[in-house]
Amino acid sequence: MTYANGKFVFGGKEVEPAKLQDLWQFLYDSYTGLGGYEDGSYLVKHKREPQEKYERRKKLAYYPNYVKKIVDTYTAQIFKTPPERELTPEYELFVNDADRKGTYIDDFMRRAFKLALIFGTAFIVVDKPSETARTKQEEIEKKLLPYATIRLPWQVESYELDEYGNLVRIVFKEGKKRKREYSLESFKVYEGKRLVLERENPLGVLPIAVLRTSDQLLYEELFSEPFIYTIAMLNFELYNLISEIREILRNITFPILTYPSRSPEFLANASIEIGTENALIYNPEGGGRPDFIAPPPAPVEVYMEYMNLVIEQIYRTANLEFTLGSQSQRSGVALEFEFQNLNTLLSMFAMNLEKTEYEIANIVSRWHGKESFDGRINYRKDFSFRDVERELKIALDSLTAGIQSATFTAEVQKKIAKLVLKDEVEDEVMERIYTEIEGLEGIDNQLKNELKL
């Protein structure tokens, strides 16, 4: 299955690459707050809105960036605890300098994961300089080792999949004219249509690991659906709502003076621009007095209610609804279910990261002449969010329950220590605390035995 310059398969159907380019640009802008959010072009013009008013709205537009907040929150949680690794000598060299810029593997994978969250897919190319060295030491000194670079979906010009959905050829655009092709047989670099570099592929596989934030549903799909798409659309909606409500508030904040006058000459010749520094002259046939008028506040109240609904939906879509501050209105079972949903989502992300790093490690090993990576990589996969305050209360209450057991008391004390200190101390310190608690338990048992005697 070859997809070249014509249409790519995305969302189960063939799509023009240009449309996908627009989508990926929108997702990038949604994370950075740049592009159409910065210049206001993402504001939707009302059909009865004057151009001058629309241009003013574009200048005053404000983008509350929930997309960035959610992406950064997920990333921080995934990498809060560094992955555990058992390294081979070859992979250790790569881990300490993943991109020939001195970047440690955790920092590199953190960046790749963030890009995968934004675009749905990130391609990690593990290449090696074509220059050769006489010894391993010379190879290390000259930095002729495998290194990784990240390529994004919008850089893909064409690709080919086998019948099982495995990538067997791909071409990346690099700048306006340059492009790089990877296939099972060779690596090629083009300047325009001119071939400027070609070398044999010695690996037997493509030197590319594909990081996805969701599963590949169809074999013919190379690109996964961007995880943040729905969140970005809701944030786009909120961006427009804030602009529209600001315009309404401007109109309400600056009321208009109404001034009654029975003089036909004054009414006919009065040249007044309606505004807060001017007046609206009218003929008070039924009587009148100077006063101020302003639009009713009801539209603002409707907008505010809808804005709150959109914000809540953003958090629900991101499985972060338990952070909304309305926990008292939901049962403990409901909150636990919400925590589990987030835990499951983060666990899936961690498994995808672990799988991708194993692929990277295998490619690095092949570059060193080995069939596969024989080390170990383990990403944290438990992100359960427990109610620490509730657990502490139960533990403390149990200490005053009158249970005559030194062992029980010691185990409860250990649990309290773990809940209070959590990740704030090193494992060695925690072990020392446990030992001290167990020592007190032993002393307590000894005293009891002496009293029996």
Helix (H) / strand (E) element for 109: namely: helix 105-119
Structure tokens at 400: 């005053």
The whole-number pLDDT of residue 144 equals 84
Which residues of the chain have a pLDDT value below 70? Answer: 1-7, 251-283, 286-287, 290-296, 322-323, 325-337, 384-397, 399-402, 419, 422-425, 440-453
The whole-number pLDDT of residue 448 equals 45
A 10 A CB-CB count for 148 gives: 23
The whole-number pLDDT of residue 423 equals 60
d(CA 316, CA 342): 10
Structure tokens at 133: 């060295």
SS (H, E, C) 337-402: HHHHHHHHHHHHHHHHHHHHHHHHHHHHHHHCCCCCCCCEEECCCCCCCCCHHHHHHHHHHHHCCC
d(CA 235, CA 64): 8
The whole-number pLDDT of residue 199 equals 93
What distance lies between CA 254 and its chain's CA centroid?
40
The whole-number pLDDT of residue 290 equals 66
A 10 A CB-CB count for 216 gives: 14
Q: Is the pTM of this model over 0.85?
A: no
d(CA 292, CA 405): 78
Characterize the bridge pairing of strands 178-183 and 291-293. unpaired
Residue pair 24/119 in contact (Cβ under 8 Å)? The answer is yes
d(CA 99, CA 149): 6
The whole-number pLDDT of residue 250 equals 73
Backbone angles phi, psi at 318, to 5 degrees: -85, 5
A 10 A CB-CB count for 223 gives: 22
The whole-number pLDDT of residue 87 equals 93
Domain ranges of the chain: 2-227+347-367, 256-293, 386-452
What distance lies between CA 396 and its chain's CA centroid?
38
AA identity, residue 446? Q
d(CA 327, CA 333): 11
d(CA 115, CA 110): 9
The whole-number pLDDT of residue 127 equals 94
Residue pair 325/308 in contact (Cβ under 8 Å)? The answer is no
* 99-113 tens-digit pLDDT: 999 999 999 999 999
Mean of all residue pLDDT scores within the chain = 82
